[in-house]
Amino acid sequence: MNLFFEESGDFKVGTVLSQAGEAYQVEMASGKRTKVKVKDVLLQYEKPAPAELHEQARKVAAEIDLDFLWEVAGEEEFGFAELGVEYFGHAPLPFEAAGLILSLHTAPIYFYKKGRGRYKAAPEQSLRAAQAGIEKKQQQALIQAGYVEQLKANKLPESMQNIVLQLLFKPDKNSIEYKAMEAACNELHSSPQRLMLATGGIASPKDLHMSKFLFENFPRGAGFPDVPVPQAPGKLPLAEVQAFSIDDVTTTEIDDAFSITHLADGKVKVGIHIAAPALGIKPDDVVDKMARGRMSTVYMPGDKITMLPDAIVNAFTLAEGKTCPALSLYATLDPADWSVLKTETRAELVPIASNLRHNDLDELVNEETLASGAGEYAHKAELALLWQWAQQLEQGRMAKREGFGLKPEQNNRVDFNFYVEDDVVTVSRRKRGAPLDKIVAELMIFANSSWGKLMHEHGVPGIYRAQGGGSGGWAAKMQVRMVTHAAPHQGLGVDQYAWSTSPLRRYTDLVNQWQILACAEHGVTAPLVAPFKPKDANLFAIVSAFDAAYAAYGDFQSNMERYWCLRWLGQQEARQVEAVVLKDEVLRLVDIPLIIKLPGMPQVARGAQVKLDILRWDEVDLSIEARLLEIPVAATVAADAELDYEDEDGADGAPAAEADAEAEAAKVEGAADVELEVVEADGEAAAAAPPAD
């Protein structure tokens, strides 16, 4: 006797060897033996042989007209044998019954299974809906196949043209457009990004990186709505100074300027004047909400996305020839030892006499010319005086830094500036610690520290940068963190440090400016009128949101710097280049700040300069391949070798150097980031933001 039975949702045929109770011992056509329960058996028969029956049943199933079978079935539940009599016109033969079972089982839209060998015809409405769904899927499959062929021919289907970014960065994986893109990528052995570049959906790798950033961080676009330009109060006193700023030629958001007044008693009053948008922008007004939504200006080589609209920036930037509302910090100094005798903070209107630019002064103003008095340039005497005070400020910070147990800062680092014009990039090197940079950096650190102290003494919370004194290992303790109370910044060598000097381009500085203005205007009652109170949940939320946004912006800037470094290689047709060893397998090119990881590189002293052969690079995934060509016999330390990594606030030290080098290696391995060098004057990235600020 042979059996046709169901096992694990499949139908099988076998010959009975024996029966024991409610189970059969069955031998399959393949020779395999299995146990079959009586309840799973659908047919018992003698002929034909199992393999032959199975083949005949398949032929019967293929010939059955499902629509006719559905009409014959009626509306009541039935067994397959009953339907077989109606359909075949006679009691079905074994192979006919088996074929009918296969047909019923493989047509779930026509027949619902109700039990072993029992079925019920689907209602007509359900059947027609299911058939329509199948028809729709078939049509979609045809459309999808057409899309695939177009994509393979480097043509972008019309239906995809307006959803390219969504397909790349936030796709609906059930859409036929995404499935077509995925299928085309599989057939072409490509990636979605490269496919969209090939079809013209994305114009260039630069647009790809930019589009991804905007899609994720500016989903409504980087433009601004029309908003009224806020105005500073009309009764501000006029400062009796002629202030000047020092910035890169590309800087438009001029936040800071300086002035010097010689007093009758021989003392000197230095003014640090910061643009004061907080005098016009009020917490929770429309401009504040707009700035808070962005948190910071986004910098990249050759471009930027400002935190505030141009009209508002122009209203408060410290532009040459204007009298601008400013928050001023005056420090009265004794030139005998450059000690600070007193400080004073007030809001006022400040005349801006000059906007000095690094590009014009870098060759004229250096340590030698400042010492000898050589050369002629604007504000020469004022710059010489500020240079002397800046050196004293730095010495004081280094002494305090050493008091925290840290070694002095390294001054042998190099900053890189990117300039992009007509898609051609120029990268220039600037030695860190040049006089103009140091003047701005030291005076900004002094202002941020002084105003942080002012808020603390008045019991007004602010947003501070703190470093050191944390828990965990050395690296964890030295991690820079943002807090809402005064705390030491050991890397900078100051007792407190509150970002306050870039309110046109950083939201934290705008918040702190509101708080500082409350202290300056209201004194001991400042805690009652300051916009943010101690333990203010809103202030904590700002810190958290700023951290997230600033990290995303920093990653994007790093990616774009890496992209432009790769473009530089192509434009210069650079194949053999010099590089300096940062740590183990991590190197940085000498001429541009491009970090490369070279697996298997022999042990070379940190700071040694080597020659590399550039094999290939990829502007899409920002990867680069190179091989080592030459190691000098006497590996000497390059003059600008970065023997220590700095954290983003300028602190360095041996343990941190190790941790940062490991982090760089991880970044380069992922081919996504490039070293982000920062001057801690305001914490702006030197490569894209104004170098000294």
pLDDT at 334: 94
Helices (H), 429-534: 435-457, 474-477, 507-522, 526-529
Q: Answer yes or no: is pLDDT of 313 > 90.
A: yes
pLDDT at 59: 93
The average pLDDT across 299-322 equals 93
What kind and span of H or E run contains 655?
helix 654-669
- What sign has the CA pseudo-torsion 467, 468, 469, 475? positive
**Would you call the peptide bond into 48 cis, given omega within 30 degrees of 0 as the criterion?**
yes
How would residue 471 be classed by pLDDT, with cut points 50, 70 and 90? low
How would residue 366 be classed by pLDDT, with cut points 50, 70 and 90? confident
pLDDT at 677: 30
Nearest to 671 by CA among 609, 611, 619, 600: 619
pLDDT at 335: 92
Q: Tell me the residue type at 290.
A: M
Q: Answer yes or no: is pLDDT of 638 > 50.
A: no
Tens digits of residue pLDDT in 653-688: 222 332 333 333 333 333 322 222 333 333 333 333
Q: Answer yes or no: is pLDDT of 487 > 50.
A: yes
* Euclidean distance between CA atoms 231 and 225, whole angstroms: 18
What kind and span of H or E run contains 597?
strand 595-597
Burial class of 228 by CB neighbour count within 10 A (0 to 12, 13 to 18, 19+)? exposed
In Å, what is the CA distance from 247 to each residue of 348, 441, 507, 534, 688?
22, 11, 20, 35, 12
The average pLDDT across 194-214 equals 93
pLDDT at 526: 92
* Euclidean distance between CA atoms 475 and 660, whole angstroms: 9
Nearest to 288 by CA among 499, 462, 503: 503
Q: Which of 370-379, 513-522, 542-551 has the lowest mean pLDDT?
A: 370-379
Q: Answer yes or no: is pLDDT of 503 > 80.
A: yes
Q: Which of 66-80, 85-99, 615-629, 672-686 has the lowest mean pLDDT?
A: 672-686
pLDDT at 640: 44
Nearest to 365 by CA among 350, 381, 344: 381
What kind and span of H or E run contains 589?
strand 586-589
pLDDT at 62: 92
Contact call for residues 151 and 199 (beta carbons, < 8 A): yes
Average model confidence (pLDDT) across the chain: 86
Q: Answer yes or no: is pLDDT of 534 > 50.
A: yes
* Euclidean distance between CA atoms 676 and 670, whole angstroms: 16
Mean pLDDT highest for which of 28-37, 418-427, 545-554, 675-684?
Answer: 545-554
Tens digits of residue pLDDT in 274-300: 999 999 999 999 999 999 999 999 999
pLDDT at 683: 37
Q: Answer yes or no: is pLDDT of 201 > 60.
A: yes
Q: Answer yes or no: is pLDDT of 520 > 80.
A: yes
